[in-house]
Structure 1
Amino acid sequence: GVIRDGWLHFEVLSRGNDNRRFQGQVQLIESTGVSVISDIDDTMKTTQVHDLQSMLENTFLEEFQPVDDLQSVYRQWAAEGASFHYVSSSPWPLFEPLNEFCQGAGFPRGSYHLRLLRLRDHMLRRLPVIRRRGKGGKIKSILKAFPGRQFILVGDSAERDPEIYGAAARLYPNQVTAIYIRQVNQRPLDTQRAEQAFRGLPRQLWSTFEAAHELPATLLARETAGAL
């Protein structure tokens, strides 16, 4: 393999008479530093998960569209050394279009953590339920794998990101240093829900935003504001 820009590029050869070759990349991350765990749907790309028909259209029929200008903020954070982990309840068959979208929209390279899913006819009716499962476990696995790193969690209010991120912060209080939740009008993070999702956590740990420019422009700005 070859290491370039913090990534190990490798190739796997099939056995026997199978001449196929498969290429892959592994992100090499230092044991200390800052990582960003980001949701994808309705945080980075418009999906409208609150409405099943819109979600299916935006996932399988329409061209993926970025939300606001979040990629500019992420690029600045990446330029300051942050690593990125993209976590989604979307199934692995969507990896290639999601990766192409992220690259085309200008999001930093990062690892993907998607959902294993066996597609059956009746699964489409259960997608909203299926999407609510598994994301928390992926996030906890990342936090557990890098105990010396500090984490920024970015998500939205349309699904259960506030509840999942709050639970992660309670389990790993020394690692989760900031939580940012994008407000989705159809299911906003109101006071009652926020109090439940972030119970027992310092108020300065989490905040909401509607537009990307409301996020700290730099990691230094976070430190100055007391997020770390």
Structure 2
Amino acid sequence: MIPPDRYEESFVSILAEEESVYLYPTAGHWDEQEGHWVASIHGWIFRPLEEHTRRARFLKLFRKSLGIRRKEVTENFLRRAEPFLVECLERRVLRIELGGERYTLDPSGHNGHFHSEILIPPAIAGTPQAPRRVEYSLVLVAGDRRVLRGTIHLLPPRGVSVVSDIDDTLKVSEVASKRRLLANTFIHEFRPVEGMERLLREWGERGASLHYVSSTPWQLYDELTDFFERLELPGGTFHLKKFRWRDRSFFDLLASPKRTKRKVLEPLFNAFPERRFVLLGDSAEKDPEIYAQLAADYPQQVAAILIRDLDGATAEAKRYRKAFKGLPEERFRVFHDTVELGGFELPRVEG
């Protein structure tokens, strides 16, 4: 974990004009024993492919690899393909500023992503009362007028967190069909699952913190957040999939998140052992099975599981009986329309 530092500028990489950095929204938890916040920082540093011929070649390869025909190349596809036609920058050391203090982050990895945990003293961010957000900015060299900011959601030890899948839970993706999934991801306009945005807005207004999970690559983060803003969904942390041309992650670009979803969610449970979690997902992939196992492993934290069924099945279906065996009926619900969740109440948290 990284405390505020006083390192010399020579330790820090200079961000060139053609280089870009994304700073993704993350969460911070209160360390009662040490009396400070522990917050994660996650970002991605990259630069576009400069040579026009090389970019055109990569774009063609990308399109063919996805099985998208030339006549299907839309403005949406060209815009969404752009973040994939980049060079990820390795071993870059960046510095951020938060509340007047500076932190030198850990170097970026081979995929351009960098992760650090920083210590935020209460003099900067206060003590835990209610969920709040703090902003930090990337420290740039003199004369660089770019403003690059990130957000940390500081969550008190006790409270309600809603973990929501995105594909076919909030956004129509049709993951059961690879062809339609690719079209909905790269070609068509994003479409909301009717009623879900109202539900999440209502929960956000009641004080729930949101954590959005998807097998969508981080390269489409801007597209997703634009879509979320149009729907006026509550802000929250995002947990997407890392992708790089040069490794095998290309071959499971939009593969099922069965393994990755648990890997993403367990750190949340471990960082917030006193929070109550509502797990929201759908039947298209393995959400019922993943969530049921998490409920078995973290019985004091998983308060409810809500599954949007896409095939007309009820909670009595064989799949759900098997997945939720041993779980009290009041802790899971299978629904087809958000109207069916009208009587659902977020868990109450004392203190």
* Residue 164, structure 1, aligned to residue 326, structure 2: no
Shift in Å at residue 41 of structure 1? 0.3
Shift in Å at residue 196 of structure 1? 2.2
Query: Which stretch has the larger CA shift, 167-176 or 137-146?
Result: 137-146
Separation in 1, partners of 2:171, 2:246: 25
What secondary structure does 2:223 align onto?
helix
Structure 2 letter corresponding to 1:34: V
1:24-81 CA-to-partner distances (Å, cap 9, x unmatched) read 1111111101110000000000000000110011001111110011111111111111
**Which of 94, 106, 112 is equivalent to 2:220?**
94
Query: Which stretch has the larger CA shift, 37-46 or 86-95?
Result: 86-95
* Residue 73, structure 1, aligned to residue 199, structure 2: yes
Quote the residue 1:45 is aligned against. Answer: 171
Which structure has greater helix proportion?
1
Pair 189,101 (structure 1): closer, same or farther in 2 beyond 3 Å: farther
Give the TM-score normalised by structure 1: 0.86
Structure 2 matches for 1:47-62, cutoff 5 A?
47-62=173-188
Shift in Å at residue 213 of structure 1? 1.6
Separation in 2, partners of 1:107, 1:149: 21
Shift in Å at residue 191 of structure 1? 1.9
Quote the residue 2:135 is aligned against. Answer: 9
Give the number of the structure whose alpha-carbon radius of gyration is greater: 2
Shift in Å at residue 178 of structure 1? 0.6
Q: Which has the higher contact order (CA 8 A, sep 6+)?
A: 1
Contact 1:158 1:188 in 2 (8 A): no
Separation in 2, partners of 1:81, 1:126: 36
**Which of 182, 185, 206 is equivalent to 2:332?**
206
Quote the residue 1:226 is aligned against. Answer: none
Quote the residue 2:53 is aligned against. Answer: none
1:164-206 CA-to-partner distances (Å, cap 9, x unmatched) read 1001101110011111000112998762211222222112211
Pair 128,23 (structure 1): closer, same or farther in 2 beyond 3 Å: closer
Separation in 1, partners of 2:327, 2:314: 20
Quote the residue 1:25 is aligned against. Answer: 151
What secondary structure does 1:28 align onto?
strand
Shift in Å at residue 86 of structure 1? 0.4
Count of aligned residue pairs for this structure pair:
221
Separation in 1, partners of 2:316, 2:187: 32
Query: Percent identity of the aligned residues?
Result: 38
RMSD (Å) for aligned C-alpha atoms: 2.7
Moved segments of 4+, more than 4 Å: 15-21, 120-125, 186-190
Quote the residue 2:8 is aligned against. Answer: none
Query: Which stretch has the larger CA shift, 200-209 or 189-198?
Result: 189-198
Quote the residue 1:106 is aligned against. Answer: 232
Unaligned runs of 5+ in 2: 1-97, 100-124, 126-130
Contact 2:314 2:334 in 1 (8 A): no
What secondary structure does 2:229 align onto?
helix
Quote the residue 1:195 is aligned against. Answer: 321
Quote the residue 1:118 is aligned against. Answer: 244
Contact 2:277 2:301 in 1 (8 A): yes
Unaligned runs of 5+ in 1: 224-228
